[in-house]
Amino acid sequence: MTEMIQQLETNETSSAVSENKVKKHLKLNEINYKNNTESDYTEKITELKNNFNYSSNRDYYWSEPELSILYGTPLYEAASPTQRIALNHLFWVGGYNLTAASETNTALYNQITSSVFYSLGGYETLCHELDIETSQERYHIQAFRTIANQTEIGLLGDIIIGNPFSGKESQLMQGGMIGRLSPGIMRHLFSFNWGSTPFLASQYYTLRFIANMILKLTEYSRSQYFKKLEKKGAFIPIPLAVSHYHFLDESFHTTTSQLIAHDLYKDFPKPTAYEKFMANLSIYMMQVTVLNTLSGAAVGSFYPDKLLIMPLIYKVLRTPLFDMSAQEALSWIEKSLCHEHEGFHAVLKSHQRLLSELRRFFQDVDYLWPVNREMRVMASGGSISKAIQDNIQGFEQFSRSAT
């Protein structure tokens, strides 16, 4: 009898501790929800979008020069001051086209997972936060695409990067993060899973957190540049201001991702073997497809250059901005992506920073395979020599298709 009483007391204590943990992360969500609803960052982004005119912003850097396409490459060193500013603008265009596509994914999966949480009861505030985030994403997407398209027309005379019909690379970009992670039937399988059980609905936010942290690599720098110009009383380009307010908006979204991915899943029954497998498979695939190399042309990008960067740069070099022949464009791409240069080291630095942050986040997530907890695949991609060899092979294939 004494043992039974002790066991009951132990169970009650464990239940109380668990309840306290639940209350803690739900309380943090309530604070996050309150702060988000009281902010006006989305409204500022919309106002900036409505006032954007490329001609009024074209002569200014929209970030520190490091956040420019081809930064640190021989081509960047040979470019004129006007061309360097253009490469800075095109980095913004490419990055926010990817972000717009990924936020389109987010709007969908917010709704899918929210329906799972809502059906459980007790998570109404969390669902309201996800509804607000979904609404905000729609305004973000509209702002990004409006500014990006106007910029491309002003710089290149046409929409190349943001045109889903201009080539496979643009179609790939329009698929967003989830499209690159899981093309075809796998994407449908993941979508089904994320709407099926509370654990798998929570696990989607692990991937969303990774995406949040990838974006932070560049947006934090842009936000700091915004503050620097503001302090000096200097002109602030509208795209830079949009980046700054989006960074502030996304801080709420990142908090949501972190709370769900790191804490909320523990509210639910322990995952089945299938749930564990699918959760780990998605993170493993994220490592393999999105985080497994170093770009030679874009800080914060760990996606193979041959699939996205090479064809887009080739098209940009053939426009009046650079006015190169096919052979000249290919020669400069080879010089810039197939040999070591300063830009690779800048990308490696951002890769190491992200790797450290993700390892810290995952260290006490209890359902992960070691390869995911330690981000081993991502770590193996942090090699400049490996990235160059991959680019050499990719360039050989690309140059044959381009001529």
| Residue keyed to tokens 């992360």 | 25
Identify the CA nearest to 297 among candidates 344, 351, 352, 338: 344
Check residue 7 and give its pLDDT: 43
Q: Contact at 8 Å (CB) between 100 and 147?
A: no
144 alpha carbon, distance to own chain's centre: 14
Check residue 352 and give its pLDDT: 98
**What total number of domains does the chain contain?**
1
Cβ-proximal residues to 124 (8 Å cutoff; 6+ apart), any chain: 118
221 alpha carbon, distance to own chain's centre: 14
**What is the phi/psi pair of residue 213, to 5°?**
-75, -35
Count the residues in the chain. Answer: 403
> What is the largest distance, in Å, between two alpha-carbon atoms of the chain?
89
Check residue 164 and give its pLDDT: 66
Check residue 302 and give its pLDDT: 96
Residue range of the domain that includes 133:
24-402
- The answer to whether residue 50 sits within a structural domain is yes
- The answer to whether residue 110 sits within a structural domain is yes
- The answer to whether residue 18 sits within a structural domain is no
Cβ-proximal residues to 282 (8 Å cutoff; 6+ apart), any chain: 181, 182, 190, 203, 206, 207
Residue ranges of the chain whose pLDDT lies below 70: 1-23, 164-175, 182-183
Q: How far apart are CA 74 and CA 340, in angstroms?
A: 10
As a three-state string, the secondary structure of the chain is CHHHHHHHHHHHHHHHHHHHHHHHHHHHHHHHHHHHHHCCHHHHHHHHHHHCCHHHHCCCCCCCCCCCCCCCCHHHHHCCHHHHHHHHHHHHHHHHHHHHHHHHHHHHHHHHHHHHHHHHCCCHHHHHHHHHHHHHHHHHHHHHHHHHHHHHHHHHCCCCCCCCCCCHHHHHHHCHHHHHHCCCHHHHHHHHHHCCCHHHHHHHHHHHHHHHHHHHHHHHHHHHHHHHHHHHCCCCCHHHHHHHHHHHHHHHHHHHHHHHHHCHHHHCCCCCHHHHHHHHHHHHHHHHHHCCCCCCCCCCCCCCCCCCHHHHHHHHHCCCCCCCCHHHHHHHHHHHHCCCCHHHHHHHHHHHHHHHHHHHHHCCCCCCCHHHHCCHHHHHCCCHHHHHHHHHHHHHHHHHHHC
- The answer to whether residue 48 sits within a structural domain is yes
- The answer to whether residue 17 sits within a structural domain is no
With the CA atoms of 73, 79, 81 and 85 taken in that order, what torsion angle do they form, in degrees rounded to the nearest 10? -60
Check residue 61 and give its pLDDT: 99
- The answer to whether residue 156 sits within a structural domain is yes
b/e per residue 174-190 (b: at least 16 CB within 10 A): bbbbbbbbbeeeebeeb
Q: What is the mean pLDDT of the chain?
A: 92
First to last CA, the chain: 85
